[in-house]
Chains A and B, each alone.
Chain A
Amino acid sequence: MIELNQIEEAACRIMANAAIDIPDDYRQGIETMVNSESGDLSCFVLKTMLENWDAATADRRPMCADSGLPRFYVKVGDNARFSGGFTGLERALRSATARATHDIPLRPNRVHPLWRTDHNNNVGINAPEIEWSFEPDVDWIDITTVHKGGLFGTDYRMLFPGDGVDGIKRFFLDTLVAFGKRGLACQPAIVGIGLGGSKDTCMVLGKQAACLRTVGDRNPDPKIAALELELQEIGNSIGMGAMGFVGKSMVADCHIEVGYTHTGGMPMSVHTFCLSSRRATVRIAADGSAAYRTDPQWFTPYMRRETVSWQSPSQDSRQSG
Chain B
Amino acid sequence: MAEPVTGFKTVRLTVPVTDEDLAGLAIGTIVYLDGVIYTGREGVYQRVLGDGHPLPLDLPAVSNVNFHCSPAASVDDDGSYRVGGVTATASFRFAKWMTEWFRLSGAKIIIGKGGMSEAHYRELFLPAGAIYLTTVGYGTGALLGRGIRGVRAVHWLEELGNAQAMWVFEVENFGPFIVDSDLEGNSLFEQQARLVNANLENLYSGLRPPALSRYGETDDRKDELI
Contacts and interface: CB of A to CB of B under 8 A. Distances in A.
B90 A48 contact: no
A66 interface: yes
B224 interface: yes
B8 interface: yes
Interface in B111-143: 113-115, 134, 136-143
Contact of B189 (A52, A151, A167, A182): A182
Contacts of A80: none
Interface stretch (A87-95, A97-105, A125-133, A292-300): A97-105
A104 B114 contact: no
Nearest to A60: B84
A162 B211 contact: yes
A158 B195 CA distance: 31
A40 B5 contact: no
A234 B202 CA distance: 12
A62 B137 contact: no
B71 A120 contact: no
B82 interface: yes
A209 to B, nearest CB: 21
Nearest to B74: A105
A52 B207 contact: no
9 contacts: A41-B28, A41-B178, A52-B137, A160-B211, A179-B225, A181-B196, A183-B113, A238-B203, A244-B196
Interface string A27-48: 0000000000000110011111
Interface of A: 40-41, 44-56, 59, 61-67, 101-109, 111, 116, 118, 120, 151-152, 157-160, 162-164, 166-167, 169-171, 173-174, 177-179, 181-184, 186, 234, 237-240, 242-246, 274-276
Given A109-B163, A244-B189, A65 B146 contact: no
B90 A65 contact: no
Interface residues of B, number: 65
B199 to A, nearest CB: 4
A51 B161 contact: no
A61 B85 CA distance: 6
A182 B114 contact: yes
Contacts of B211: 160, 162-163
Contacts of A106: 72, 84
Interface in B184-221: 189, 192-193, 195-196, 198-200, 203-204, 207-212, 214, 221
Contacts of A246: 192, 195-196
Contacts of A101: 74
A186 B203 CA distance: 21
A61 B82 CA distance: 11
A6 to B, nearest CB: 25
A56 to B, nearest CB: 4
Given A59-B142, A65-B85, A102-B74, A242 B212 contact: no
B95 to A, nearest CB: 13
Contacts of B69: 65
B66 interface: no
A313 B225 CA distance: 49
B89 interface: yes
A41 to B, nearest CB: 7
A118 B161 contact: yes
Nearest to B116: A182
A244 B5 contact: no
Interface in B154-170: 161-164
A31 to B, nearest CB: 9
